[in-house]
């Protein structure tokens, strides 16, 4: 085991997979000479050269589409978006081409591509640079969606995503790059579509993903210390496939659930999870399921308001106390 950052884990995944398979290449803005806007691709240009570490023009629709074409022709591109906010210009390539070509060709073409980059709010980046794109992609059949919260999951999921024969949307946490965690020294793969129980508890289930896993963990520690409530934290890790077996089993055990996400409430991923729970575990519930999400507004620049808009541990604690009838 080594203690490394989330950023280093992603870099290791890229390097290992590029060494293992010469069809794997990375492209995007600033990925080469500049070492990546967030330094995820650091040092790769030196090792693999220009054809495999391709600096692109600022043309998201163009280079994402080019990646899809290269994938269809048998390569395994990793397309980096400087952040997912800019991938809105590539939504057509991802949704209309990558997610559809296998299906509409009757299974003849396969599109083994990874689209990756940071999502979510960071610090005072305001409305256009603070969005949570997760549900926009989780809604699309034909895509897979990964949202790792820890360095070990970042490593294992990115390696699986690169080896996957289908298009994978890989959303990193912009504020997670410096988070440290233990990572196995040996080859480490995490299956796509498998949730992980990050904390075991008997009293309530908190279902969440990405950066909010850390918020849930904070809340859980405080709930244990101050309210004698033991929360089970389910980290989804992937939003498509969505591992309902794991969270439904947890809710059947705890009989209470809080669903937490950083993004907007309407048609957010949490809405789907609540539906899964009511459908598959209705008779086990001792309270209505509570949702905690980002507030239903564009992100504010002012720090004081940004803090109110993004869910924090206190909000999670209030929701947990509510479903446990402690408020």
Partner 1 sequence: MAKTEDEIMQGDLQGIPREKLMEMLRWMVLSRRFEEKTAEAYQTGKIGGFCHLYIGQEAVAAGAIAALREDDYVFTAYRDHAQALVRGVSSDAVMAELYGRVGGASRGAGGSMHIFDRDVNFMGGHGIVGTHLPLAAGVGYAIKYRGGDQVVLCFFGDSVVNGGPFHEAFNMVAKWELPVVYVVENNSYGMGTDIDRVAAVDDLFTRACAYQGKKAEQVDGMDVLAVYDATNRAVERARETSRPTFIEARTYRYLGHSMSDPAHGTYRSREEVQAERDNDAINSLVDRMEEAGLLTEEEYKELDAAVIEEVERAAEFAEASPVPGRDEIYAHVYADEFRGGLDRRDAWR
Q: Could you list the residues that contact partner 1 (CB under 8 A)?
A: 25, 51, 56-57, 59, 61-75, 77, 89, 92-93, 96-97, 101-110, 141-142, 144, 164-166, 191-194, 241-245, 275-276, 279
> Measured from the CB of residue 308, what is the shortest distance to partner 1 in angstroms?
34
CB of 275 to partner 1, least distance (A): 8
Catalytic residue check, 60? yes
Nearer to partner 1, 106 or 325 (CB): 106
Among residues 248 and 324, whose Cβ is nearest to partner 1?
248
CB of residue 323 to partner 1, shortest distance in Å: 24
Q: How many residues does the chain have?
A: 327
Closest to 290 (Cα-Cα) out of 213, 202, 205: 205
Q: Are strands 144-146 and 238-240 parallel, antiparallel or unpaired?
A: antiparallel
Active site residue 129: yes
In whole angstroms, give the CA distance from residue 47 to residue 63: 22
Residue of 16, 30, 129, 227 marked active site:
129
Minimum CB separation of residue 119 from partner 1 in Å reads: 22
Contacts of 226 (CB under 8 A, 6+ apart): none
- Active-site residue (options: 8, 17, 29, 60): 60
191 or 298: whose CB is closer to partner 1? 191
**Rounded CA separation 44/37 (Å):** 13
Contacts of 153 by beta carbon, 8 Å cutoff, 6+ apart? 190, 196, 235, 237
Q: In this complex, which beta carbon is closest to partner 1, that of residue 138 or of residue 176?
A: 138
Tell the residue number behind the tokens 């870099």, with chain if given: 11
Dist CA 114 CA 227 (whole Å): 43
Please say which residue, 77 or 173, places its beta carbon nearer to partner 1. 77
Quote the least distance from Cβ 160 to partner 1, whole Å: 11
Q: Which is nearer to partner 1, 99 or 154 (CB)?
A: 99
| In contact, 116 and 81? CB cutoff 8 Å | yes
Residue for token pair 């057509």: 92
DSSP-derived 3-state class of residue 173: strand
Q: Record the tokens describing residue 250, joined without a space.
A: 């947890």
Instruction: Give the tokens for residue 14.
Output: 């890229």
The least distance separating partner 1 from the CB of residue 22, rounded to whole angstroms, comes to: 9
What is the spatial distance between Cα 290 and Cα 284, in angstroms, rounded to a whole number?
A: 15
Cβ contact 127:90 at 8 Å? no
Catalytic residues: 60, 129
């Amino acid at each position: 085991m080594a203690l490394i950052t989330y950023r280093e884990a992603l870099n290791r995944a890229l390097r290992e997979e590029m060494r293992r398979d010469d069809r794997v290449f990375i492209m995007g803005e600033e990925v080469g000479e500049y070492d990546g806007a967030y330094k995820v691709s650091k040092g790769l240009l030196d090792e693999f050269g220009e054809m495999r570490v391709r600096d692109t023009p600022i043309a998201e629709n163009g280079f994402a589409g080019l990646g899809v074409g290269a994938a269809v022709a048998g390569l395994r591109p990793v397309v980096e978006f400087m952040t997912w906010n800019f991938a809105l210009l590539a939504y057509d390539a991802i949704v209309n081409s990558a997610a559809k070509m296998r299906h509409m060709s009757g299974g003849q073409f396969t599109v083994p591509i990874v689209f990756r980059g940071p999502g979510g709010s960071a610090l005072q980046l305001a409305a256009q640079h603070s969005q949570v794109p997760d549900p926009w992609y989780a809604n699309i059949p034909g895509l897979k969606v990964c949202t790792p919260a820890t360095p070990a999951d970042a490593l294992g999921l990115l390696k699986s995503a690169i080896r996957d024969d289908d298009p994978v949307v890989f959303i990193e946490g912009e504020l997670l790059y410096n988070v440290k965690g233990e990572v196995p020294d040996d080859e480490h793969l995490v299956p796509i579509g498998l949730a992980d129980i990050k904390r075991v508890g008997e009293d309530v289930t908190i279902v969440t993903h990405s950066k909010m896993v850390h918020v849930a963990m904070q809340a859980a520690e405080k709930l244990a210390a101050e309210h004698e409530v033991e929360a089970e934290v389910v980290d989804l890790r992937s939003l498509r496939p969505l591992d309902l077996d794991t969270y439904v089993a947890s809710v059947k055990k705890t009989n209470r659930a809080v669903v937490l996400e950083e993004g907007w409430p309407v048609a957010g991923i949490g809405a789907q999870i609540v539906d899964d729970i009511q459908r598959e575990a209705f008779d086990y519930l001792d309270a209505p399921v509570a949702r905690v999400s980002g507030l239903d507004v564009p992100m504010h620049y002012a720090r004081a308001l940004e803090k109110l808009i993004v869910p924090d541990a206190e909000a999670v604690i209030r929701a947990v106390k509510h479903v446990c009838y402690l408020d």
